[in-house]
Structure formats: structure tokens, C-alpha cells
Amino acid sequence: MMRVLFALVAATSIAHAEGARRKALGHGLELVVENNQVYVVQGKVRARLGPGYGIESAKLVGTQVDLVLDQLSCDAMATAPSHWQLDQLEARLANVVAYGQHTKKDYRSAEAGFARAAALDPAWPTAAYNLASARQLLGDLDGAVAALAPWLNSQPLVTYLQVAGDPELAPLLARPELKALQATRRGSATVDSKGVVGDIAYSPERRAFAIARREASWGACSFVVDIELHDAATGKLEARAPLIAWDDTRPECAGDGIKPGARGTIAQRAKLAQGVLADLGFSPATIERGTEPSGNAGDKRTSSFPNHRIGVVARDGVVRALRKDTELGQVTGLEQLVAVIHVAELNAIVATTRRPGREACEGSDPTEIDLLKLP
């Protein structure tokens, strides 16, 4: 179980305290800002809400808690509002307590706490994952699958990745409810330490494609690589599995950028991702890589697919595909074109774009995967 838990509890009204770093909420509750994180403390229980430099305001209106936090944006200090129903907040408190019991292997008590959290906030997947973990460890596989059922229906790819990647949930892969998500024909996609071999894999049964997205630091040689699963019709990101984490890389630009001690972990992640892709029917797609984009990175950039007689022009975040003077389609991405790949199974072009990271605010040049459908 590797799920970070957080919570917030509010009183009916909260006066602005000095420095907005600490607010007494009543009922034994206190809201605290430490190390640019907002916590709620109740007795010995401490739960993280999220990042924040201070608390602008917090009040309860009916059953809804309205909270406004001071946060540093890329432009200046700004306020960020959030809204919570009391049941949602109670669910997170119950979850925190249950998580502590779970780590002490008191799975019976943890199961009761997670069940309460899931009932209070049925739209929160973390409580359901935790409940399934506790029940699986108690030998209640029927109950574990029942906890996951709403998410198997609404977020099948995310849930399958969650189950496959969590040792406490992985035994559920043998259950018929999880097997129902597997393809009738096992895929042959391969994942190595760099990403999806052959660039893109496609699953006709899941109607999705898999691709590795790389994002690098603008001030060092650190980078991250995720295996992303996108809807084949819309390009929408459906699920993501980590392959290389920031801490796995070497900022000093030595060798291939990977820390020697991280290679085993990366290999394990690649094996896990490959197994999931195979289960879900992903196999190498039929592709043509576009030519290396040329032109000014801050202005127009072009690429082409000689075999398909298609040209690609990207400017101001809009990527267009053309055949001679006829536009075949367009998609909006980030500012700069990085690469384009024509995928026969999708009848589409998969475009990777990026924009410059904002100095002193962002540590990387953000990247994005977009789908340009062809007629």
C-alpha cells in the first residue's frame, strides 16, 4: 500500500490568525501550516491537506467547508479556494486512522475504518483501494473486489494498473472481475528502460494506445519518463505508470543520466508495465516516425511523413497536418513541437509538444501527448 493520505476539518468560522500559520478550529481541532504544507491536527492524528503558504480564510456554510489558501503561483502569491463536504472530510479522517492501524497489521480494525471512509465518500478511490487491500489481507477476496467494483467500471485502466502495481492488491488479478478487463488475445508490447519499444503500442480491445512521455529539467540533466495510456478516439489520458522518477536520474549530466543504484528499480517498473500492457492486449503499432522537426523552437516548426505524403506545421501551440495545400486536421498542444508519429491503427498522428518551464517556478519543461485524427 503506497497511498498518501490527507484530510481537513473545519469549524463554523475561523478568524484570521497572526501570519495565518495556525488556526484553532474548536472541537480539539487545529489547522497548521508547516514547511509550506497545510495540516489538520486532532490529538495525535495529523493529516496533510496539500501545499499552502498560509490560510486566508475557512468557514462552514451548511455542510460545506470553504477554504482559501495562500499559494505561490508562477506569477505571484495568489489565493486558491477549495470546497469540501463534511462527509468527505470525515472520510479522510477515518482513512488516516485506519491507515495507521493497517501499518500495524491490525487489518480487522483497518477494514472497518476504510469501509466507513468509503461509505462517507464513495467518489474517492483511495478509500476503496485501501479497503480492498485490507480485505484481501484478511482473505475476503469477494469483499475486496466489491470495494473496487465502482472503479473497475468507471476507471478500468487506472484500476487495473493500481491493482497490478500494489503487492497487497495484485492477488486480485486472478479474480474473474479483473480477468474480464484482460484482452482475449494477449499483447506483445515490450517495455524497456527507455519506454515502449517501437514508440507506440495499441490495444484494439481497450481502444487505447501506449506511449512513453519524457519530461526533462531545464536547469539540469534530471528527467522523468512515464508510460501513458491514451484513448484511441480522443487522445485523452486514461492512465499513467511511472518508469523513471526524478530521483532515479543524475542532474550532473553523467553517462546516460541514470543513477547506477536505480537501474534495478527501473527494470522492475518496466517489467510491470510490460505485463500490464500485455494483459490488456497492447501490441506494437504500425508507425512512421516524422522527420526531425526543424525551424525556430519559439516560432513555426515543421516535420513530414514521406511515405504518407503528409506535412506537419506547428505554430503557437497548434499542430496541423497537410497534404499539399489541404489541411487534414489539427490539434492544440504546447508551444513547441518535439516529435510526431503516424499510427496506422489510429489513422492519426501522435504529437509530442512542450513549452519552456517558468524559471523559479517550474523545474522542468512540461511535455504533452496529443492526438491529431486524420480524415
Instruction: Name 74's Cβ contacts closer than 8 Å, sequence gap at least 6.
Output: 358, 361, 362
Q: Is the pLDDT of residue 18 over 90?
A: no
The C-alpha cell 495562500 sits at: 70
Give the pLDDT confidence score for residue 82 in this predicted structure.
77
Computed over every residue of the chain, the mean pLDDT equals 89
Tens of pLDDT along 123-163? Answer: 999 999 999 999 999 999 999 999 999 999 999 999 999 99
- Tens of pLDDT along 164-180? 999 999 999 999 999 99
Q: Which of 375, 325, 311, 316 is nearest to 348 (CA)?
A: 375
pLDDT at 307 over 60: yes
> pLDDT tens for residues 182-214?
999 999 999 999 999 999 999 999 999 999 999
Residue 296's pLDDT band (cuts 50, 70, 90): confident
pLDDT at residue 64 greater than cutoff 80: no
Neighbour-count burial of 316, counting CB atoms closer than 10 A to its CB (0-12 exposed, 13-18 middle, 19+ buried):
exposed
The pLDDT, as a whole number, for residue 19 is 40
Segment 311-367, tens digit of pLDDT? 999 999 999 999 998 999 999 999 999 999 999 999 999 999 999 998 767 889 999
Q: What is the pTM of this model?
A: 0.87
In angstroms, the CA 95 to CA 195 distance is 35
Nearest CA to 245 among 262, 260, 228, 261? 262
**More confident site: 11 or 319:** 319
Largest pairwise CA distance in the chain:
71
- pLDDT in the model for residue 29: 66
The residues of the chain that CATH labels 1.25.40.10 are 90-179
Identify the CATH number of the domain defined by range 90-179. Answer: 1.25.40.10
- Look at residue 362 in the predicted model and tell me its pLDDT: 81
Please indicate whether residue 278 or residue 2 has the higher confidence score (pLDDT). Answer: 278
Cα separation, 171 vs 211, whole angstroms:
27
Quote the pLDDT of residue 164. Answer: 97
